[in-house]
Structure 1
Amino acid sequence: MYGLSHRKILRQLIMNGDIDSAFKRLEEWYPQVLKVSVICFLLHSQRFIEYIRAEQLEGAVKYARANLANFLAHKAFEGLLKESVALLAYEKPSESCIGYLLESPQREFVADAVNAAILSTNPKMKDPESCLYSCLEKLLRQLTVCSSELRAFNSDQGDVFLLHKEIYERSRRP
């Protein structure tokens, strides 16, 4: 199985919130993955979230200025970027409407994305893009795009649709 031991280590690092070590290992083992802006953004966002989780607000602000500011121009990252930075506004971010970002499903989301990106680098794979999206994921991506288009049609009114947020909120309902 392609890169299984490396992928397991990276998953564990991300699930433990050790994003700095995950960055170092990725740079060492799969530097091409860090060139993918989505993966780079997700890891930087998660590192920022880990600062918030550790209640290191000053460190979070410095990190955001140094690393997240680079992604402001990317429309695709706007929703997660705004919600991540909004964590700073809450005295108890874990109890806020965006507290789901501090939960383990968010770490799992990032770990899954990193894992898929690594699998796509397998030189023996005929179609590297195929491992990035299952049929269900393609349908969910279409749902996300449709939701974004509907929101844009309504003058950007309403919440941004984020699948992992929806799943988390629905899992907490009785």
Structure 2
Amino acid sequence: MSLATSFSSKFPSPLHWDKQSGGRVNSRWLEVTDTRVKYIGPGSEDKDAASVRADTPVPPDSSVYYYEVAVINRGRDGFIGIGFATSEVPLDRLPGWDSHSYGYHGDDGCAFKGSGKGNAYGPTFTTGDVVGVLFDRVDCCISFVKNGIDLGVAFADVPLEERLYPCVGLRTPDEEVDANFGASPFVGDFPGMVAECRERLTERVLATPLPGRGKAGSLLGELVFGYLQHHGHWETAAAVGRDVLGGAVSVSQADIADARSRQAVAEAAAAGRVEEAVDMAEALVPGALAAQPAVLFRLHCQRFLELVRARDDEGAMRYGRSVLSGAAASDQDQELLQDALSLLAYEEPEASPCGELLGAKAREDAAAALSAALLAHSGRSAQSALERCLAQLGAVRRELVQLGDASAAMLRFDKSLPSNGMLL
């Protein structure tokens, strides 16, 4: 992935200048070699200007795109323009002089957008300077950076439907530049630019008003209360119910006792005491495992795995013949059974291709499946409402990213919850 974007794109990113993009003018007046461009034309008048585009446009699914241009030689007058342009823009003029073209010029520090008359913007630039160009598709703007210093927004309200190409133009003899499209580290702090963009977007999301009231008076408070209660944080849940929801909801002793019983079942399974966990589950929620044959089979397999772990191969084979052989009902069950049985062929089963079945994660997965089955049979969800909302947010975000939404690509919902409450 190119350094020019912090997001994985299904589209190609610019790699070099397209020396064929300018046609006859460029072949006569520009010497283009990969990422380097040198002006070799007459340079007498504005009509002698020549520009070149990158080989591909900015990926349309990139939220933030950045590239840099190093000024190798300012040439006679330093009439160097750097920016973006669409493929329809003629390349016999500097960037920014035509519609759908945006440029920052080195000789006067002006920013040009669709006109030969520029607006005062930043400092001039010359030999040895490095100019960065940032296209922010979240805020629909283009900014420039000189030698690592952010010069601020040059162009606002940039239409997102425009397919913009990195572009550079030269006009007087010996002007020469070299572009960095991400093949090497940038002078500018591109990760910092991305972080600032994400922070601005986060602030806007957090400023979005939520429905003020739920059944208990606060929709957000109810979600937090439900999450804390679901995961056994009783004291904190009670505090939220009292202080945020005004006592409209509370944690009952029955809820605590039920959750602790389920937790004890899960802990037994996670510790490898499968028979004990099954007996406890049946006593707590009768019929739960009979209603979930796949979970019951998973627990039977876990019991077999515990025998293998204990090096009781004879007991494992007896258990396999008497319990497991006829219990696999689905293709997934059959696959798990074959993997488990294969462990008996190895003197050191932990080192076998299926050795992960003897690890702690296999126990934890079985315990989680058992807990979910108990909740489901009791008419409750294995996840809290807050976690279900988060899962839905993730699904919506993935769909929006596929549709090319720049803001959605910037946000992430698979990270931890920071102090400001926004998932990024």
TM-score by structure 2 length?
Answer: 0.29
The counterpart of 1:20, out of the listed 275, 284, 289, is 275
Question: What residue is the counterpart of 1:7 in the other structure?
Answer: 262
1:31-110 paired onto structure 2 within 5 Å: 31-35=286-290, 36-110=292-366
1:29 maps onto 2:284 in alignment: yes
Q: 1:47 to 1:100 in 2, by over 3 A?
A: same
Contact kept, 8 Å, 1:33 with 1:39, in 2: the verdict is no
1:58 corresponds to which letter in structure 2? E
1:111-150 paired onto structure 2 within 5 Å: 111-123=367-379, 125=380, 135=391
RCO greater where, 1 or 2, for CA within 8 Å and sep 6 or more? 1
1:27 corresponds to which letter in structure 2? E
44-53 or 64-73: bigger deviation? 64-73
Question: What residue is the counterpart of 1:164 in the other structure?
Answer: none
CA distance in 2, matches of 1:98, 1:21: 25
CA distance in 2, matches of 1:42, 1:62: 17
Decide which structure has greater strand share: 2
How far did 1:72 drift? 3.7
Report SS of the residue matched to 2:288.
helix
Report SS of the residue matched to 1:55.
coil
2:325 corresponds to which letter in structure 1? A
CA deviation profile, 1:54-79 (whole Å, cap 9, x unmatched): 00000000101111012245323121
Contact kept, 8 Å, 2:375 with 2:382, in 1: the verdict is no
Q: Give RMSD over aligned pairs.
A: 2.3
Which structure has the larger Rg?
A: 2
2:345 corresponds to which letter in structure 1? A
Q: 1:38 to 1:88 in 2, by over 3 A?
A: same
74-83 or 88-97: bigger deviation? 74-83
CA deviation profile, 1:50-106 (whole Å, cap 9, x unmatched): 000000000000101111012245323121111011111111001111110000000
CA deviation profile, 1:34-62 (whole Å, cap 9, x unmatched): 20101110110000000000000000001
Decide which structure has greater helix share: 1
107-116 or 19-28: bigger deviation? 19-28
CA deviation profile, 1:131-171 (whole Å, cap 9, x unmatched): 7x9649xx8xxxxxxxxxxxxxxxxxxxxxxxxxxxxxxxx
CA distance in 1, matches of 2:325, 2:289: 17
Q: 1:18 to 1:129 in 2, by over 3 A?
A: closer
Moved over 3 A (4+): 128-131, 133-136
Report SS of the residue matched to 2:307.
helix
1:7 corresponds to which letter in structure 2? R
1:15 corresponds to which letter in structure 2? A
How far did 1:122 drift? 2.6
Contact kept, 8 Å, 1:57 with 1:88, in 2: the verdict is yes
CA distance in 1, matches of 2:281, 2:329: 25
CA distance in 1, matches of 2:329, 2:295: 16
CA distance in 2, matches of 1:66, 1:72: 12
Number of residue pairs matched by the alignment: 133
CA distance in 2, matches of 1:56, 1:99: 16
Report SS of the residue matched to 2:363.
helix
Q: Determine what percentage of the aligned residue pairs are the same residue.
A: 31
2:296 corresponds to which letter in structure 1? C
CA distance in 1, matches of 2:362, 2:336: 11
Report SS of the residue matched to 1:97.
coil
Contact kept, 8 Å, 2:289 with 2:373, in 1: the verdict is no
CA distance in 2, matches of 1:72, 1:23: 18
